Amino acid sequence: MHRPLFVLAALSLVAACGDSSNKTRTDTAAGAAPATSTSSGADLTGAGATFPAPLYSKWFDAYATKTGVKINYQPIGSGGGIRQLSEQTVDFGATDAPMSDAELGKAKGGSILHIPTALGAVVVIYNLPNVPAGLKLTGEVLAAIYQGQIVKWNDARIASLNTGVALPATDILVVHRSDGSGTTYVFSDYLAKVSPAWATKPGKGKELQWPVGLGAKGNDGVSGQVKQTPGAIGYTELAYANQNKLTTAAIRNASGEFVAPTIESVTAAASGAIAKLPPDTDYRVSIVNAEGKGVYPISSFTWIIAYGKQGDAAKGKKLTDFLKWALTEGQGLEAALDYAPLPESMRTALVSKVDSVQ
């Protein structure tokens, strides 16, 4: 990749999640080391989601070269980023799941802004010999599979979506995350949107009481189980799936189209969703199952979170300057790393939001 100009502390945490490209996201358990522990020499410190860590690494490198401002970021998971920002041990956090009202209420530094920085997607992967990528699935069928109601690959509800595909009469092995993660949050948020039964139980969250299936840690754990087990199904990140050449399904969107996960179809999801946002939105919004043609329905923002009123004026200026760069020039670096850039129509409004930081 590139030679970092800043200290990317705790990089081993990303590797521990098993993603050879470092493109994975997971939430760590409570009690993560304070993000300031290795911040010597950095102008700004941050911590949080691992999914955007490769993008942020590229951003911080490019920004340091351009401005001389060094940013230290620890990819410790969304939950860790929220906790450390709430405790004011970092200058900014990062998360793949928006903070709840309860979490916002616990923040010691006052109101927190959510700034979307990039788009990602959760993709459905499967291991069916002789069945190529592009197997068609709906949210309702996925919910039934993950609730243990569809147990065979040749079930009529799957076969009816895939005319002409020779589906085997084998058991479906469900694989899910065993650790708390933003990936699980997005996946379960989508299932809760399309399935009333799923919304009732188990619902949505970073950690769930799964009705059936085998738990695995991290994107590498889920994909490893799926890759080594014929008949298995799981979910992982778009960037991770692309780099590891995993077999992915096409998912029916709100317009009735079966859409494969791509950078373009993920960006389309955001475009459809933001058209309905009120002017005073705080951007804590879900874009799963968004309306519009060409939309991949299991798409999501990832956010940088920061206090609306900065305690240190000099650091606050450096942070807002960086965020405005990330929302403009930085967006051009996303696609090469398998991230979807924010829609052009959204960036101006976000820059104005950053300008509101005191």
Tens digits of per-residue pLDDT, 18-74?
333 333 333 333 333 333 334 457 899 999 887 788 899 999 999 999 999 999 999
Stronger pLDDT, 11 or 90, i.e. the higher one: 90
Domains annotated for the chain, with CATH where assigned, are 11-119+301-355 (3.40.190.10), 122-266 (3.40.190.10)
Residues 186 and 300: beta-carbon distance below 8 Å: yes
The closest of 191, 216, 215, 249 to 18, measured between CA atoms, is 216
Question: Residue 348's pLDDT is what?
Answer: 86
| CA–CA dist 329, 341 (Å, integer) | 11
- Over range 346-357, report the average pLDDT: 88
Token representation of residue 311: 């305690």
Runs of H (alpha helix) within 246-309 = 263-274
Residue 315 is inside which H or E element, if any?
Answer: helix 313-326
Question: Residue 283's pLDDT is what?
Answer: 86
Residues 123 and 268: beta-carbon distance below 8 Å: no
The sheet carrying 232-237 orders its strands as: 71-74, 44-48, 92-95, 299-307, 112-126, 232-237, 173-177, 214-216
Place of tokens 């521990």: 16
Question: What value does the mean pLDDT of the chain take?
Answer: 85
| CA–CA dist 307, 303 (Å, integer) | 13
A 10 A CB-CB count for 333 gives 17
Stronger pLDDT, 77 or 313, i.e. the higher one: 313
φ/ψ of 103, rounded to 5, equals: -65, -40
Question: Residue 32's pLDDT is what?
Answer: 36
| CA–CA dist 201, 26 (Å, integer) | 22
Tens digits of per-residue pLDDT, 209-259?
999 999 998 888 898 999 999 999 999 988 788 878 899 999 999 999 999
A 10 A CB-CB count for 119 gives 25
Longest dimension (CA), the chain: 64
- Over range 272-279, report the average pLDDT: 73
Residues 114 and 99: beta-carbon distance below 8 Å: yes
The closest of 225, 269, 239 to 251, measured between CA atoms, is 269
- Over range 139-159, report the average pLDDT: 98
Is 70 exceeded by the pLDDT of residue 144?
Answer: yes
Q: What percent of the chain has pLDDT over 70?
A: 88
Question: Residue 40's pLDDT is what?
Answer: 54
Runs of H (alpha helix) within 137-285 = 139-146, 156-159, 182-194, 196-200, 218-228, 238-243, 263-274
**What is the SS3 assignment for 299?**
strand
Binned at pLDDT 50, 70 and 90, residue 206 comes out as confident
Question: Residue 257's pLDDT is what?
Answer: 97
Q: Evaluate the omega torsion of the peptide bond into residue 202 and state whether it is cis, within 30 degrees of 0.
A: yes
Residues 57 and 73: beta-carbon distance below 8 Å: yes
Binned at pLDDT 50, 70 and 90, residue 80 comes out as confident
Q: Rounded to 5 degrees, what angle do the CA atoms 192, 198, 204 make?
A: 50
Please report, in angstroms and rounded to a whole number, the separation of the first and last CA atoms in the chain: 36
Beta bridge partners of 300: 120
| CA–CA dist 83, 31 (Å, integer) | 9
| CA–CA dist 202, 335 (Å, integer) | 34
Binned at pLDDT 50, 70 and 90, residue 280 comes out as confident
Is 60 exceeded by the pLDDT of residue 276?
Answer: yes
Beta bridge partners of 120: 300
Binned at pLDDT 50, 70 and 90, residue 2 comes out as very low
* pTM flag (> 0.95): no
| CA–CA dist 173, 35 (Å, integer) | 39
Q: What percent of the chain has pLDDT over 90?
A: 56
**What is the SS3 assignment for 269?**
helix
The closest of 273, 277, 323, 328 to 301, measured between CA atoms, is 273
